[in-house]
Amino acid sequence: MKQNNIIEPCCINTQLPQLMKSAKQGVFYSNGDWGIKKLMQAVSYMVDQQATVVLLMPCVDVYFCRMIRDWLTRGWMECLVLATKENCTALVKTEFSGLEDKVLYVCRKNLSTEAFIRYNAAQRLAIFGPLRIDIDNTNDFCTYSYVCRCSLAEYAEVVSPLVSLFSSKTPMAKKMKCKAITDWLTRAFLPKEESTNA
Protein backbone atom coordinates (compact mmCIF):
# COMPACT_ATOMS: atom_id res chain seq x y z
CA MET A 1 0.00 0.00 0.00
CA LYS A 2 1.37 3.42 -0.98
CA GLN A 3 2.48 5.71 1.83
CA ASN A 4 0.65 8.99 2.30
CA ASN A 5 3.17 11.82 2.01
CA ILE A 6 0.89 14.63 3.22
CA ILE A 7 1.79 14.63 6.91
CA GLU A 8 -1.00 15.58 9.30
CA PRO A 9 -0.27 17.10 12.73
CA CYS A 10 -2.31 14.44 14.50
CA CYS A 11 -0.34 11.61 12.92
CA ILE A 12 3.16 12.99 12.32
CA ASN A 13 4.67 10.67 14.96
CA THR A 14 3.62 7.62 12.94
CA GLN A 15 3.19 8.90 9.36
CA LEU A 16 6.59 10.56 8.97
CA PRO A 17 8.78 7.78 10.39
CA GLN A 18 6.89 5.22 8.29
CA LEU A 19 7.45 7.29 5.16
CA MET A 20 11.14 7.81 5.90
CA LYS A 21 11.65 4.11 6.61
CA SER A 22 10.07 3.19 3.27
CA ALA A 23 12.74 4.96 1.20
CA LYS A 24 16.09 6.52 2.02
CA GLN A 25 15.18 9.74 0.22
CA GLY A 26 11.97 11.42 -0.81
CA VAL A 27 9.56 14.28 -0.33
CA PHE A 28 6.62 15.00 1.91
CA TYR A 29 4.20 17.85 2.46
CA SER A 30 2.33 19.69 5.18
CA ASN A 31 -0.48 22.20 5.27
CA GLY A 32 1.66 24.42 7.48
CA ASP A 33 -0.13 23.10 10.55
CA TRP A 34 2.87 21.64 12.40
CA GLY A 35 6.27 23.08 13.20
CA ILE A 36 9.85 22.24 14.09
CA LYS A 37 9.04 20.84 17.54
CA LYS A 38 6.64 18.23 16.18
CA LEU A 39 9.06 17.39 13.38
CA MET A 40 11.98 16.83 15.76
CA GLN A 41 9.85 14.84 18.20
CA ALA A 42 8.62 12.59 15.38
CA VAL A 43 11.94 11.53 13.84
CA SER A 44 14.82 12.21 16.25
CA TYR A 45 14.69 8.65 17.58
CA MET A 46 15.79 7.45 14.13
CA VAL A 47 19.31 8.63 15.06
CA ASP A 48 20.40 7.46 18.51
CA GLN A 49 20.91 9.82 21.41
CA GLN A 50 24.61 10.69 20.97
CA ALA A 51 23.90 12.83 17.92
CA THR A 52 25.02 16.12 16.51
CA VAL A 53 22.01 18.30 15.66
CA VAL A 54 22.28 21.04 13.03
CA LEU A 55 19.42 23.51 12.59
CA LEU A 56 19.08 26.19 9.93
CA MET A 57 15.95 28.24 10.57
CA PRO A 58 14.56 31.78 10.49
CA CYS A 59 14.63 32.30 14.27
CA VAL A 60 14.27 30.63 17.64
CA ASP A 61 12.26 31.60 20.69
CA VAL A 62 12.72 31.03 24.41
CA TYR A 63 10.45 27.96 24.50
CA PHE A 64 12.24 26.23 21.65
CA CYS A 65 15.64 26.99 23.21
CA ARG A 66 14.46 25.51 26.50
CA MET A 67 13.30 22.35 24.74
CA ILE A 68 16.74 21.98 23.15
CA ARG A 69 18.46 22.71 26.45
CA ASP A 70 16.38 19.96 28.06
CA TRP A 71 17.39 17.53 25.30
CA LEU A 72 21.06 18.43 25.78
CA THR A 73 20.98 18.01 29.55
CA ARG A 74 19.12 14.70 29.26
CA GLY A 75 21.71 13.39 26.80
CA TRP A 76 19.18 13.12 23.97
CA MET A 77 21.65 14.94 21.71
CA GLU A 78 25.38 15.59 21.88
CA CYS A 79 25.48 19.19 20.69
CA LEU A 80 23.65 21.89 18.73
CA VAL A 81 24.93 23.71 15.66
CA LEU A 82 22.46 26.52 14.94
CA ALA A 83 22.14 29.21 12.28
CA THR A 84 19.27 31.71 12.13
CA LYS A 85 18.33 34.48 9.73
CA GLU A 86 17.21 36.79 12.53
CA ASN A 87 19.73 37.82 15.15
CA CYS A 88 19.02 35.66 18.20
CA THR A 89 22.45 36.06 19.80
CA ALA A 90 21.27 37.43 23.15
CA LEU A 91 18.55 34.79 23.52
CA VAL A 92 20.86 31.91 22.64
CA LYS A 93 23.56 33.21 24.99
CA THR A 94 21.08 33.45 27.88
CA GLU A 95 19.23 30.18 27.35
CA PHE A 96 22.34 28.05 26.82
CA SER A 97 24.39 29.58 29.61
CA GLY A 98 26.61 26.87 31.09
CA LEU A 99 26.37 24.76 27.92
CA GLU A 100 28.52 26.98 25.68
CA ASP A 101 30.83 24.11 24.75
CA LYS A 102 27.86 22.18 23.34
CA VAL A 103 26.27 25.00 21.31
CA LEU A 104 27.60 26.77 18.24
CA TYR A 105 25.47 29.67 17.00
CA VAL A 106 25.75 32.03 14.08
CA CYS A 107 23.38 34.63 12.60
CA ARG A 108 23.38 34.59 8.79
CA LYS A 109 21.15 37.30 7.36
CA ASN A 110 21.46 35.73 3.90
CA LEU A 111 20.16 32.37 5.13
CA SER A 112 17.42 31.08 2.83
CA THR A 113 17.82 27.33 3.36
CA GLU A 114 16.07 25.68 6.29
CA ALA A 115 17.16 22.27 7.55
CA PHE A 116 17.07 19.81 10.43
CA ILE A 117 20.10 17.50 10.43
CA ARG A 118 20.84 14.79 12.97
CA TYR A 119 23.73 12.36 12.75
CA ASN A 120 26.22 10.24 14.60
CA ALA A 121 28.90 7.77 13.51
CA ALA A 122 26.38 5.12 12.46
CA GLN A 123 23.12 6.92 11.60
CA ARG A 124 22.16 10.06 9.75
CA LEU A 125 19.17 12.03 8.52
CA ALA A 126 18.60 15.42 6.96
CA ILE A 127 15.30 17.18 6.31
CA PHE A 128 15.02 20.36 4.23
CA GLY A 129 11.94 22.59 4.24
CA PRO A 130 10.19 25.30 6.27
CA LEU A 131 11.08 25.05 9.97
CA ARG A 132 8.70 27.27 11.89
CA ILE A 133 8.33 27.94 15.59
CA ASP A 134 4.86 29.52 15.44
CA ILE A 135 1.96 27.87 13.67
CA ASP A 136 -1.04 30.00 12.72
CA ASN A 137 -3.62 30.36 9.96
CA THR A 138 -1.20 32.20 7.67
CA ASN A 139 1.04 29.17 7.12
CA ASP A 140 1.02 27.75 3.62
CA PHE A 141 1.21 24.36 1.98
CA CYS A 142 4.85 23.30 2.41
CA THR A 143 7.23 20.94 0.61
CA TYR A 144 10.00 19.02 2.37
CA SER A 145 12.74 16.71 1.16
CA TYR A 146 14.74 14.24 3.17
CA VAL A 147 17.59 11.74 3.14
CA CYS A 148 18.11 9.07 5.79
CA ARG A 149 19.84 5.72 6.19
CA CYS A 150 22.17 6.72 3.34
CA SER A 151 25.88 6.07 2.95
CA LEU A 152 28.38 8.51 4.39
CA ALA A 153 29.40 9.54 0.87
CA GLU A 154 25.79 10.29 -0.07
CA TYR A 155 25.31 12.21 3.16
CA ALA A 156 28.45 14.23 2.50
CA GLU A 157 27.03 15.47 -0.80
CA VAL A 158 23.99 16.84 1.04
CA VAL A 159 25.46 18.34 4.19
CA SER A 160 29.10 19.23 3.47
CA PRO A 161 28.27 22.56 1.76
CA LEU A 162 26.36 23.68 4.88
CA VAL A 163 29.52 23.66 7.00
CA SER A 164 30.64 26.84 5.22
CA LEU A 165 27.81 28.74 6.94
CA PHE A 166 29.79 28.39 10.17
CA SER A 167 33.31 28.83 8.76
CA SER A 168 33.84 32.23 10.41
CA LYS A 169 33.44 30.54 13.80
CA THR A 170 36.07 27.85 13.16
CA PRO A 171 39.24 29.20 14.87
CA MET A 172 37.61 30.04 18.20
CA ALA A 173 35.26 27.05 18.20
CA LYS A 174 38.08 24.56 17.74
CA LYS A 175 39.45 25.63 21.11
CA MET A 176 36.23 26.20 23.04
CA LYS A 177 33.72 23.65 21.76
CA CYS A 178 33.17 19.93 22.24
CA LYS A 179 34.66 17.40 19.84
CA ALA A 180 31.36 16.89 17.99
CA ILE A 181 31.22 20.59 17.05
CA THR A 182 34.89 20.63 16.06
CA ASP A 183 34.24 17.57 13.89
CA TRP A 184 31.39 19.46 12.18
CA LEU A 185 33.52 22.54 11.54
CA THR A 186 36.42 20.52 10.15
CA ARG A 187 34.16 18.04 8.30
CA ALA A 188 35.89 15.25 10.24
CA PHE A 189 32.59 13.33 10.34
CA LEU A 190 32.71 12.94 6.54
CA PRO A 191 34.74 10.54 4.40
CA LYS A 192 38.50 11.17 4.44
CA GLU A 193 38.62 12.95 1.08
CA GLU A 194 35.87 15.34 2.24
CA SER A 195 37.37 16.13 5.65
CA THR A 196 40.89 16.77 4.34
CA ASN A 197 39.63 19.45 1.97
CA ALA A 198 38.03 21.54 4.74
Confidence of residue 193 (pLDDT cuts 50, 70, 90): low
pLDDT at res. 198: 45
Rounded mean pLDDT, 65-86:
96
Q: What is the CATH number of the domain that holds 55?
A: 3.30.870.10
Domain-located, residue 75 = yes
Domain-located, residue 181 = yes
Domain-located, residue 154 = yes
Total domain count for the chain?
A: 1
Which residue segment(s) compose the domain that 157 sits in?
Answer: 12-188
Domain-located, residue 7 = no
Q: What is the DSSP string of 23-68?
A: -SEEEEEE-S---HHHHHHHHGGGS-SS-EEEEEES---HHHHHHH
C-alpha pair distances (Å), 81 with each of 1, 6, 47, 104, 173: 38, 29, 16, 5, 11
Distance between first and last Cα of the chain? 44
Confidence of residue 174 (pLDDT cuts 50, 70, 90): low
Rounded mean pLDDT, 165-187:
78
Domain-located, residue 2 = no
Q: Is the model's pTM score more than 0.85? A: yes
Rounded mean pLDDT, 45-50:
88
Domain-located, residue 4 = no
Domain-located, residue 123 = yes
